[in-house]
Amino acid sequence: MATKIRLQRHGKKGYAFYHVVVADSRSKRDGRFIEKLGTYNPNTNPATIDIDFDRSLTWVSSGAEMSDTARALLSYKGVLYKNHLMKGVAKGALSEADVEKKFEAWLKDKEAKISKKSDGHSAAMKKAAEDRLAAEKATNEARAKEIAAKNAPEEEEVTEEETAEESTEESDATPEAAAEATETPVPTPEKDPVEEKAKDAKEDEKK
């Protein structure tokens, strides 16, 4: 029976993740499988790959075929490189100690690259968040200035209108006051009757 290592789709629309399985090459893509080797989640950054290294190496060394994506995943995790080194042991070109030494060096270099990529992604995300916050702050400040500029003329116009109304009221009140002052009669002092009789008596004596 021809076996093939391939991906089996799971999850939902827009958020798919995959199981890495060994299945009969003649079976349907998401049908029955012989063994599950791990999972692959492309929704994270970097992608999350969880593989049973020893079982994957066993299947690869036994001649199992691989889909393009499965081959890329196994190469990423070092399964194919370890299988290549083990072939050197079979040919007598390398010892098992040499294989372990070479693989450990490769694994450390790979982990350093992954860590660097992860740190770079985190830094980029942080910078993007800071830039977005700064842009929002600038937008809010500009909006506040625009609102203040719109409200300022309205206040000045209201003040000018109130001043004009007060001046008009004062102007209207001035003629009325003048008219009232004009219409008010000035009281004439009345003559004293005693003084009038004394004056008449003097005039009679003269006659």
- pLDDT tens-digit readout, 137-177: 888 888 888 888 888 755 555 555 556 555 555 555 555 54
pLDDT at 39: 95
Summary mean pLDDT of the chain: 79
Q: Is 99 exposed, middle or buried (0-12, 13-18, 19+ CB in 10 A)?
A: middle
Per CATH, is 3-94 categorized as 3.40.630.10?
no
Among positive and negative, which fits the CA dihedral 26, 28, 29, 34? negative
- Residue 93's SS3 state is coil
% of the chain surpassing 90 pLDDT: 34
Q: Is pLDDT of 202 > 70? A: no
pTM score, whole prediction? 0.54
40-81: pLDDT as tens digits: 999 988 889 999 999 999 999 999 999 999 999 999 999 999
Q: Give the whole-angstrom CA distance, residue 86 versus residue 80.
A: 10
Residue of higher predicted confidence among 175 and 133: 133
